[in-house]
Chain A
Amino acid sequence: MSVPVTDMDTLHRVQDFLYREAELLDEQRFSAWAELFADPCVYWIPVDPAVTEVWQGMSHVNDDRQLLLARTHRLDNPRVMSPEPLPRTVHAIANVRIAEVAADGTLTVKSTAVVHEYRPRGYGDDDKRAFAGRVTHRLVPHGDGFRIAFKRVDLVDSEGSYNAILVPI
């Protein structure tokens, strides 16, 4: 393993990949978003920022490939009840940096995500919300691009309580 210093080309490709991931979520193309993940994969939002393994404690999200497919299939189903109408989001991705390059080419990428969400329901007081978290991706090379083998989001308020969240962060 080595820490890359000036591989700007790889960094640009990684940034472009993360921006496209965010765009798919903001365009509500959830199944297309799930296709960015490798098989097997982990999409994880832990409660306790100190844990290092998915089965150490409770998680807001602890999706393997099957659960990820079920989650996105549901959101793409026009019969789905609770996301109706679906919240609209803007995922702003920043501070992208390649933290590690493994011998097999797997990249560990750190970034931050700030998500603004609007839920057009016509009543209530948390129809506009913001989420923020530090994100770790493990990206495996795939063709010209990447697949997500692992994604962990550490929300700044991971130990807080949330109302229903539909659109992945």
Chain B
Amino acid sequence: MSAIAYPQERPGLSDRYSPSWFRDLVRGDHVHRDVYTDPEIFRREMRLLFGRTWILVGHESQLPDPKSWFTARVGDQTIIVAREPETGRPVAMYNRCAHRGATVCVGRQGQSHRLVCPYHGWAFDHGGALAAVPYEKGYPEALDRSAYSLRRVARLEGYRGFLFANLSADGPGLMDFLGHMSTCIDDLVDRSPTGEVELVGPPLSHHYRANWKMSFENLNDTLHPGFAHAASVVAARAVESVVGEGNLVPSVGMMKANGKPIGFFEELPMVTTPWGHSYIGGHMGASYTGSTQSAYFQQLAAFHGEEKAKRVLAQDRHLMLLYPSATWHARYQTVRLVLPIAVDRTEVVGFVFRLKGAPEETFRNALEYCNGANSAFSPVISDDLEIYERCQVGNLQGDAEWVPMYRGIHQRAEDPETGRRSPATSEEYVRNQFAAWARLMGEPA
């Protein structure tokens, strides 16, 4: 194997912010640190990355009846998702009144007969059409109402209830974009003994003062837990010494699992797929898998057949990353949206789903993981947030401009079924994210 050299030159000094300059920021084994800190790069990401890929915005269960709507973010845009009156199909509109531009829907979700702008009362139906204008006689009779609809987002499509928006009419369809990752959505939905899942309650959100890519680069990183989360591993072991081996509650057991040796993680698979997506094999063990005697298993077997029910419960994928918008954990029905707020500020919104018809323990099991994985109070997550912020600040120091990402570059193998396989200790998922990043950012704007 030839030596990996530290890049000596700065990228494309001649024309900063040209398409080729963006492509030059990614070297395959190194990435230029400006990708985390330059506001101009962030602005371009909003248009070319978040504006041209499929972004997870929510779930159909957020629209239980024709009056329902919810808001979501796609990059730096706020959208409204509601059911079009004629068809009942979910559609997405920009959250901007067609009159003077006021935000129409405020809050996470709501129910209303019309979407009414608070400024001059223009009222839109749930498909965005302008339905009523107060003081109608003050407007020219020739006013063409259809020109003053809420503007539709180019594409909104669903897969098994999960809704994805794409601000661009061009580019791959949803299923091409998801590719093998659609099986990760199946992994979540197939755990329901009725085939349906339902989003529950308000989400649990945290934020950090660092770039959005930090979460994507952290969540499939199996080398950091033993270091960054060492204190909670030690704490979990201390609790175990008090309560006795095998008696840890799941939430503390998950903390302890972070302390497994590197050799254990090396044996787990990492799967990377086109467009920057990835997942790794599960390591937490403790999970509500249900014995074959359990009521849950019986329900699942009645729905899927026994063989498939066993397969569904045995599946163990940890943190599936759907670049660049979402990460999820099918076993614990937990989905997180990663919202880029500014080049150095990110919000992560955690949702939990109920498996409709399943015993209550399955939901409790999901919450147990979801709280620990999303709360800023979590003894584990608070470490990660600190790390992101240290990387953000650190990347502004000194003159070392390139970030290496070559761990495991010699350990990968092509896999015809899933894409590419590596050991879970690899940084292949980071290289894979930046390959997609460079491809999208290197396009003409």
The answer to whether A81 and B371 touch across the interface, beta carbons within 8 angstroms, is no
Distance of A76 Cα from B161 Cα, bound (Å): 45
Q: Is B239 an interface residue (CB 8 A)?
A: yes
Q: Is B382 an interface residue (CB 8 A)?
A: yes
Q: Is A165 an interface residue (CB 8 A)?
A: yes
A110 to chain B, nearest CB (A): 22
The answer to whether B228 and A66 touch across the interface, beta carbons within 8 angstroms, is no
Given A61-B377, A81-B386, A164-B386, A70-B232 contact (CB < 8 Å): yes
The answer to whether B228 and A81 touch across the interface, beta carbons within 8 angstroms, is yes
B363 to chain A, nearest CB (A): 7
The answer to whether A60 and B382 touch across the interface, beta carbons within 8 angstroms, is no
Question: Which chain A residue shows the least CB distance to B251?
Answer: A67
The answer to whether B371 and A62 touch across the interface, beta carbons within 8 angstroms, is yes
B244 to chain A, nearest CB (A): 11
The interface size bin for chain B is 35 or more
Question: Which chain A residue shows the least CB distance to B201?
Answer: A57
Contact partners of A164 in chain B: CB under 8 A: 206, 208, 376, 381-382, 385-386
Which of B204, B236, B243, B255 has a CB less than 8 Å from the CB of A47?
B204
The answer to whether B236 and A58 touch across the interface, beta carbons within 8 angstroms, is no
Q: Is A6 an interface residue (CB 8 A)?
A: no
The answer to whether B374 and A55 touch across the interface, beta carbons within 8 angstroms, is no
Contact partners of B248 in chain A: CB under 8 A: 66
Contact partners of A60 in chain B: CB under 8 A: 204, 371, 375-377
Q: Is B370 an interface residue (CB 8 A)?
A: yes
The answer to whether A67 and B230 touch across the interface, beta carbons within 8 angstroms, is no
**Residues of B363-377 whose CB lies within 8 A of A:** 363-364, 367, 370-371, 374-377
The answer to whether B386 and A82 touch across the interface, beta carbons within 8 angstroms, is yes
Most B C-beta atoms less than 10 A away, residue of A73, A162, A164:
A164
Q: Is A2 an interface residue (CB 8 A)?
A: no
Distance of A73 Cα from B202 Cα, bound (Å): 30
Most B C-beta atoms less than 10 A away, residue of A48, A71, A81, A161:
A161
**Residues of A86-123 whose CB lies within 8 A of B:** 123
A-contact bits for B196-226, CB 8 A (1 contact / 0 none): 0000111111111100000000000000000
The answer to whether A123 and B393 touch across the interface, beta carbons within 8 angstroms, is yes
The answer to whether B204 and A58 touch across the interface, beta carbons within 8 angstroms, is yes
Spot the interface stretch: B302-310, B312-320, B347-355: B347-355
Q: Is A69 an interface residue (CB 8 A)?
A: yes
Q: Is B142 an interface residue (CB 8 A)?
A: no
Question: Which chain A residue shows the least CB distance to B352?
Answer: A58
Q: Is A77 an interface residue (CB 8 A)?
A: yes
A-contact bits for B235-259, CB 8 A (1 contact / 0 none): 1101100110000110110010000
Most B C-beta atoms less than 10 A away, residue of A56, A60, A79, A160:
A60
Q: Is A134 an interface residue (CB 8 A)?
A: no
Distance of A98 Cα from B105 Cα, bound (Å): 41
Q: Is B383 an interface residue (CB 8 A)?
A: yes
Q: Is A32 an interface residue (CB 8 A)?
A: no
Which of A56, A70, A160, A163 has a CB less than 8 Å from the CB of B385?
A163
Q: Is A45 an interface residue (CB 8 A)?
A: yes
Q: Is B234 an interface residue (CB 8 A)?
A: yes
The answer to whether A159 and B202 touch across the interface, beta carbons within 8 angstroms, is yes
Question: Which chain B residue shows the least CB distance to A74?
Answer: B235
Which of B204, B242, B350, B387 has a CB less than 8 Å from the CB of A69?
B242
A132 to chain B, nearest CB (A): 16
Contact partners of A48 in chain B: CB under 8 A: 201-202
The answer to whether B352 and A66 touch across the interface, beta carbons within 8 angstroms, is no
Q: Is A130 an interface residue (CB 8 A)?
A: no
Contact partners of A163 in chain B: CB under 8 A: 206-209, 376, 385
The answer to whether B375 and A77 touch across the interface, beta carbons within 8 angstroms, is no
Q: Is A166 an interface residue (CB 8 A)?
A: yes
The answer to whether A70 and B379 touch across the interface, beta carbons within 8 angstroms, is yes
Q: Is A51 an interface residue (CB 8 A)?
A: yes
Question: Which chain A residue shows the least CB distance to B255?
Answer: A70
Distance of A159 Cα from B387 Cα, bound (Å): 24
The answer to whether A55 and B202 touch across the interface, beta carbons within 8 angstroms, is no
Most A C-beta atoms less than 10 A away, residue of B202, B207, B209:
B202
Residues of chain A whose beta carbon lies under 8 Å from any beta carbon of chain B: 45, 47-48, 51, 55-62, 64, 66-67, 69-71, 73-74, 77, 79-83, 123-126, 159-166
A sample of 16 inter-chain contacts (CB < 8 A) reads: A45-B377, A57-B202, A57-B352, A60-B204, A60-B377, A64-B249, A66-B251, A70-B238, A74-B234, A81-B230, A161-B207, A161-B348, A161-B376, A163-B376, A164-B381, A165-B382
Q: Sorted from nearest, which 5 A-B pairs have the closest CB atoms?
A: A161-B205, A57-B201, A80-B231, A162-B376, A164-B382
Known: A51-B201, A66-B251, A77-B235. 20 other contacts (CB 8 A): A47-B201, A48-B202, A57-B201, A58-B367, A58-B370, A64-B249, A67-B251, A69-B235, A70-B232, A70-B235, A70-B252, A81-B231, A82-B386, A82-B387, A83-B382, A161-B348, A162-B376, A163-B207, A163-B208, A164-B206
